[in-house]
Amino acid sequence: MSDTDKDLLITTLATRLAALESEVGALKAASPGIPEDVVVAISAAVSAYLGNDGSVQAIRFAPSPNWIRQGRRALQNHSIR
């Protein structure tokens, strides 16, 4: 690989990195209320489920407490399983 090829590769990678950083910045600005560790956990779950072919497009908190109620129902279920 010649020096010109290496320089071209470095320039291409730097351009792609800058584009990805701006995209991540836009995503963070669009959802400022979600902690980064939650986003990482959701991304890992999507990646594991889809076999590393998926990506998280958007995340938002549900406006209603239904998830909390359902979780409590599941934990407090005293029926025989």
pLDDT per residue as tens digits for the range 19-53: 999 988 887 777 667 777 887 888 888 778 777 66
Instruction: With respect to residue 68, please indicate whether it lies within any of the assigned structural domains.
Output: no
Beta strands (DSSP E) in the chain are: none
> Does any domain span residue 81?
no
Residue 77 in any domain: the answer is no
Residue ranges making up the domain that contains 18: 3-60
pTM: 0.39
Domain membership of residue 50 (yes or no) is yes
Q: Domain count for the chain, please give it.
A: 1
pLDDT tens digit sequence for 18-27? 999 998 888 7
Q: Can you tell me which residue has the tokens 């594991």?
A: 48
Task: Round the average pLDDT of the chain to a whole number and report it.
Answer: 79
pLDDT tens-digit map of 65-75:
676 777 777 77
Residue 58 has, within 13 A of its CA and on its CB side, a CA count of: 7
Of all residues in the chain, what percent carry a pLDDT higher than 70? 75
| Helix, strand and coil in the chain, % to nearest 5 | 65, 0, 35
Mean pLDDT (whole number) for 54-71: 68
